[in-house]
Structures are given as structure tokens and as C-alpha cells.
């Protein structure tokens, strides 16, 4: 990763190399923290962060679910999110917000350690590869189920939840695939390790409902709206993986992955084995919106 100049840490801009934490940082040991990922795009008329309000709202919701109190007002983090990009003279990039428990006591129940907050910006290209974005990626169903709501708060973007995601991702990569398809405990499709999933059949698009063991993706919500505005019927419904195999098109959404086509699942070719027309249309619509080319969705952009 290319270093940038500054990182926002606990209210101050500190040098990239100085933004360090103590080895006794509580979250490092137990994974109890929350984070966000959002992107800033170079638009036709400046630079803008995509759905910053929604991402920050999810950060505060995640913290509320974990009973962590973020020691800053949302407006402060909004201003700092724009400022970190300006300070680093970045016209575009990925933004990571993280709220974690600092050092002090090591007991699980400590309530006295400081709650720390950081915002980091870095350059991040296509998460699943430029070629994947164009031609589609290959998925493998994971042997790990997505965390059930009885066990983990899936609506919180919590640090520790990603042990489950990383196990699935590593398993898929080691088997030669690009990404893991994760099922819920009942065997129905949930999502991928860091993306939501969509199926296309004719003019109907399906994605797993918010009531599933999924993170309520902000890209998911945006693409649902874009698809409905383009005249597609979008159903939020559960489906088994059989229906993924037989879909005309499959694609994934996420801040990092943007809108990525899927060309193969568990050694079965999907549709024509390349990015399908609906996927390409929605991908193009998404990129137009995030790059400020479609004024209809201007309210989704926070210009720096
Ligand atoms: C597990 C998981 N599901 C889905 C998503 C997609 O969410 P979003 O579109 O808000 O980035 C992410 C990424 O944040 C994720 O980590």
C-alpha cells in the first residue's frame, strides 16, 4: 500500500508512520471494534465521497449495537473524512473509519480503556481486480456458514465478524477462486465475504433480504434503487445456491468490489460465462453516479 502523508487519529492529523497503537490495544486481542469503508471518486466536477452520511450512520449504528460510545459527533467525523483527503491531496481513494478500544485493562469487560477513532485514506483500485470488474470473477461456496444473528450481530460492521469472512476468503483463494459464496445456517445464500450478491433472470433481479445474515450493504441499497429506476423488478428474497447456478447473470456489490460480475460458481458457468447485459448496464449506471455524471443522484455525493 502506498503511504499517504497523514492519518486522522483521535482528533489529530498525525504522520502516517506515527499513527501507531500499543501492543496492548484491547481490540487487537479480542476484535471488539467497528469500522467502515467508503470511497471518494474523482467526479466530473470535483471529488466526492459516495454516501458518506449512510456510511457514518452505519458506523454509529454498529457502535450502538456493540455498546461502544464514539467520542465524536457525526458532523466531526464527516468533516474529518473530507479533510483527510484534502490534507493528503488525494482526489480519490478508499476511506477507512475504525473505532476501537485502546490500551489499559485487559479484562474482557473493561469499561475504562479509551475508545479510539481513526480515519485513514489510501489508494485502492478494483478490489477483485480490473479484469474481474470487466469479465467477471469465479466464486466457490464456502465450507464456513455466515454468522447467524443468534451468535453475532451481522448488522454491525464489527472487527471480529471478519474472522468468519477471512476464513472463507482464504479458503476460496487457496482453492484457486476469487471469492467465497457464503450460505446461512439453513443452507440459503447469504452473501460473499465482503459483498452482497444479486441474481438476474430476464428483467427480474433478486438479492438476499436484510433479514438474512448479511451486512446491509450501502452499495446493495444503491444498486436496488438504480435497478428499479431502470425498470427492473427487484425482489429481496431468500434463495438456495441452486438458483445461483441457474441464474442468467450473477453480480456482487460492495464499496470495495463496486459492481463486479460473476462468471462461474462452483465450476458451473453462469449464463454466457461473461459479464451479462443487465450487470454491465447497472455497473455503468453505478459508475456514472459515483463519478457525478448523473445529477439525479447528486444527493448521494459529499463533495470535498
Ligand atoms: C460482509 C460484507 N457484506 C457486504 C458488504 C457490502 O457493503 P457496502 O456496499 O456497504 O460496502 C461488505 C462491505 O462493506 C461486507 O464486508
User: pLDDT by residue (tens digit) across 253-264?
Assistant: 999 999 999 999
What's the predicted TM-score (pTM) here? 0.97
Q: Which of 42, 134, 155, 157 is catalytic?
A: 157
Residue by residue, DSSP assigns 164-214 as HHHHHHHHHHHTT-SEEEEE-TTSBEEEESS-EEEEEETTEEEE--TTSSS
> Is residue 247 within 8 Å of 265, Cβ to Cβ?
no
Residue 165 alpha carbon, nearest atom of ligand 1 = 1
Helix (H, G, I), strand (E, B) or coil at 136: coil
CA angle, residues 247, 249, 251, in degrees to nearest 5: 115
At residue 176, the pLDDT reads 98
CA distances (Å), origin 182, targets 34, 113, 165, 176, 221: 21, 35, 9, 16, 19
Q: Average pLDDT in the 176-205 region?
A: 97
Sorted by where each begins, the domain ranges of the chain are 6-122, 130-290
Which amino acid residue places its CA nearest to atom 15 of ligand 1?
194
CA 24 to mean position of chain CA atoms? 28
Closest CA to 142 of 167, 125, 117: 167
Please determine whether the domains at 6-122 and 130-290 fall in the same fold group of CATH: no
At residue 41, the pLDDT reads 98
User: pLDDT by residue (tens digit) across 53-109?
Assistant: 999 999 999 999 999 999 999 999 999 999 999 999 999 999 999 999 999 999 999
Residues in the chain: 304
At residue 93, the pLDDT reads 97
The top-level CATH class assigned to 6-122 is alpha beta
pLDDT-derived band at 124, boundaries 50, 70, 90:
very high
Which amino acid residue places its CA nearest to atom 7 of ligand 1?
217
Architecture of domain 130-290: Alpha-Beta Barrel (3.20)
Q: What is the DSSP letter of 70?
A: -
User: pLDDT by residue (tens digit) across 183-195?
Assistant: 999 999 999 999 9
Write out residues with Cβ below 6 Å of ligand 1: 37, 165, 191, 194-196, 215, 217-220, 253-255
Amino acid at each position: 500500500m502506498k503511504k499517504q502523508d497523514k492519518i486522522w487519529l483521535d482528533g489529530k492529523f498525525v504522520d502516517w508512520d506515527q499513527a501507531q497503537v500499543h501492543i496492548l490495544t484491547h481490540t487487537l486481542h479480542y476484535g471488539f471494534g467497528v469500522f467502515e469503508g467508503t470511497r471518494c471518486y474523482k467526479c466530473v466536477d470535483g471529488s466526492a465521497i459516495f454516501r458518506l452520511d449512510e456510511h457514518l450512520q452505519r458506523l454509529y449504528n454498529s457502535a450502538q449495537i456493540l455498546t461502544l460510545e464514539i467520542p465524536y459527533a457525526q458532523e466531526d467525523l464527516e468533516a474529518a473524512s473530507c479533510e483527510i483527503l484534502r490534507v493528503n491531496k488525494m482526489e480519490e481513494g478508499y476511506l477507512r473509519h475504525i473505532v476501537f478500544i485502546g490500551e489499559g485493562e485487559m479484562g474482557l469487560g473493561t469499561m475504562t480503556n479509551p475508545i479510539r477513532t481513526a480515519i485513514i485514506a489510501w489508494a485502492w483500485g478494483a478490489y477483485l481486480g480490473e479484469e474481474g470488474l470487466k469479465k467477471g470473477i469465479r466464486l466457490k461456496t464456502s465450507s464456513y456458514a455466515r454468522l447467524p444473528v443468534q451468535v453475532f450481530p451481522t448488522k454491525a460492521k464489527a472487527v471480529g465478524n471478519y474472522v468468519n469472512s477471512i476464513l472463507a476468503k482464504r479458503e476460496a483463494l487457496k482453492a484457486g477462486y476469487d471469492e467465497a459464496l457464503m450460505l446461512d445456517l439453513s443452507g440459503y445464500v447469504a452473501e460473499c465475504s465482503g459483498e452482497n450478491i444479486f441474481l438476474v433472470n430476464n428483467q427480474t433481479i433478486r438479492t438476499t433480504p436484510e433479514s438474512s445474515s448479511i451486512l446491509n450493504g450501502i452499495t446493495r441499497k444503491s444498486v436496488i434503487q438504480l435497478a428499479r429506476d431502470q425498470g427492473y423488478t427487484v425482489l429481496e428474497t431468500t434463495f438456495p445456491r441452486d438458483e445461483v447456478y441457474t441464474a442468467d447473470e450473477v453480480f456482487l456489490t460492495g464499496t470495495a468490489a463496486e459492481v463486479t460480475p460473476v462468471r462461474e460458481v462452483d465450476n458451473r458457468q453462469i449464463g454466457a460465462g461473461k459479464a451479462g447485459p443487465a450487470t454491465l448496464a447497472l455497473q455503468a449506471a453505478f459508475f456514472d453516479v459515483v463519478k457525478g455524471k448523473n445529477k439525479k443522484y447528486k444527493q448521494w455525493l459529499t463533495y470535498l
